[in-house]
Amino acid sequence: MSDKRAICLMVMPSLLIFVGIVFVPIVWTFVYSLYSGMPGFNFQFTGFTNYIEMFRNQHTMDSFRVNWRYIMIVTPLQVSFGLLIALMVHFSVRRNKTLVRTVVFIPTILPAVAVAQMFIKMLALIPNHGLVNALLDLAGLEQFIQPWLGQTSTAFTWLCVMDIWTAVGFHCVIIYGALVDVSEEIIEAARIDGAGRLRLFWNILLPCLKTILVTCLVFSFTGTIKMFESATALTRGGPGHATTSMTMNMYENAFTYNQYGYGSAVAFMILLQCIVVTFIVSKLGREKF
C-alpha cells in the first residue's frame, strides 16, 4: 500500500464510475437549470431566472413547505421508534430475537406501491369501509368515520404514518447491531453502581450509539427529502397539493409541462439542501453530548 501508483490503479476504475454516475449528472443538471424550455425546442439560456422564479412560484414554495414539514415529523420518529424497538428487542425479548427482528424488518422490503395499496384499502370509505372505518363503526364511533385520504387535514398525517411504519425496521436493525457491540461489562458495572434505566440509557448507551444514530438520521433525511414513491402511490400529491413534495414538483415541471430548466433548478435546490443538512448533522454528531 506504500506504492501510490498501485493505489491509483486500484482506485481509478471505481472513481471513474462514481464520477460518471454522480458528478457528471449533477453538473449537467446545474447547466440545464440555467436554461428555459425543453432541449431541442426553444431551449434558451436564461441565467438564474429559474431560481428566482422558483421562490416566486406559490406551488413550488408549497411543495418545499410540505416536504420540510414531512421531514421534521418523519425523520426523528423513524429513528426514535427504531431505537425504542431495538432497545426492547435487545433487553426485553428473551427468545426468538431473530424472528422478531425479521418481522420488524419486513415492511422495509415491501414495495412502496404494495404498502400504499394496503393503506388505501385500510382507509377506504366507499364502496365499503376499510379496516379503520370498519373498526370505528364496530366501536360505535360513527362520527369519526371519514374519507381519510380525501381530506387535507388527514391525508398528510396518514402519509407520515405509512412512511414511519415502513422504515422503522431498517433503523431498528442497524441500531440493534450497534447495541450488540456494547460491552455487557460496562452495562453491568453501571447497574452495580446504581444506575437506573434512564441514567443507563443517557450516560452509557446513548454515547455508545451516537455514531450509528447520526448515520440513521442521515439515511432517514436523505430518504425523506426525496419523498416521491410513497406519496405518489398513496395520494398522488393530493388532495390539492397537500402531499406534493419537492421531487414531485420537479417531476411535474420537467416531464408534464416540459420545463426541463425549471425542473432542473428544483432538483439542484434539493441537492443543496441535502448536502447542507447532512453536513450539519455530521458536524453535530462529532460534538460531545
> What CA–CA distance (Å, rounded) separates 35 from 264?
9
pLDDT of 26: 92
Neighbours of 266 (CB within 10 A): 28
Q: Do 220 and 281 touch, CB atoms closer than 8 A?
A: no
CA 266 – CA 262 distance, rounded (Å):
6
The span from the CA of 43 to the CA of 40, in Å, is 6
Residue 31 lies in a domain: no
Enclosing domain of residue 204: 59-248+262-286
Do residues 167 and 159 lie in contact, with contact meaning Cβ atoms separated by under 8 Å?
Answer: no
At 239, which amino acid appears? Answer: P
Q: Are 175 and 86 in contact (CB under 8 A)?
A: yes
Kindly state whether residue 87 falls inside one of the protein's structural domains.
yes
Q: What is the pLDDT of residue 160?
A: 96
Tell me, yes or no, whether 161 lies in a domain.
yes
Place of cell 444514530: 213
Instruction: Tell me: pLDDT of 285 over 80.
Output: no
pLDDT-based confidence at residue 1 (cuts at 50, 70, 90): low
d(CA 63, CA 34): 21
CA 147 to chain centre: 26
How do residues 223-257 score in pLDDT, each as one tens digit?
999 999 999 999 999 898 999 999 999 999 999 98
| Ranges of H-type helices in the chain | 4-18, 24-32, 49-56, 58-91, 97-109, 112-122, 131-138, 152-180, 184-192, 197-200, 206-224, 229-234, 246-251, 260-285
Return the pLDDT at 193.
82
Q: What is the CATH number of the domain that holds 151?
A: 1.10.3720.10
User: Within a domain: residue 37?
Assistant: no
* Domains identified in the chain, total number: 1
Between 67-71, 180-184, 242-246, the lowest mean confidence (pLDDT) is in: 180-184
Q: What 3-state DSSP class applies to 44?
A: strand
Give the integer Cα–Cα distance in Å for 289 and 118: 41
Look at 189-193, 217-221, 247-251 and tell me which has the smallest mean pLDDT. 189-193
**pLDDT band with cut points at 50, 70 and 90 for residue 183:** confident
The conformational region for residue 184 under phi > 0 = left, psi -120 to 50 = alpha, else beta, is alpha
Q: How far apart are CA 162 and CA 74, in angstroms?
A: 10
Ranges of beta strands (E only) in 4-150 are 35-38, 41-45
The predicted model scores a pTM of 0.90
In a domain, 77, yes or no: yes
| pLDDT given at position 149 | 93
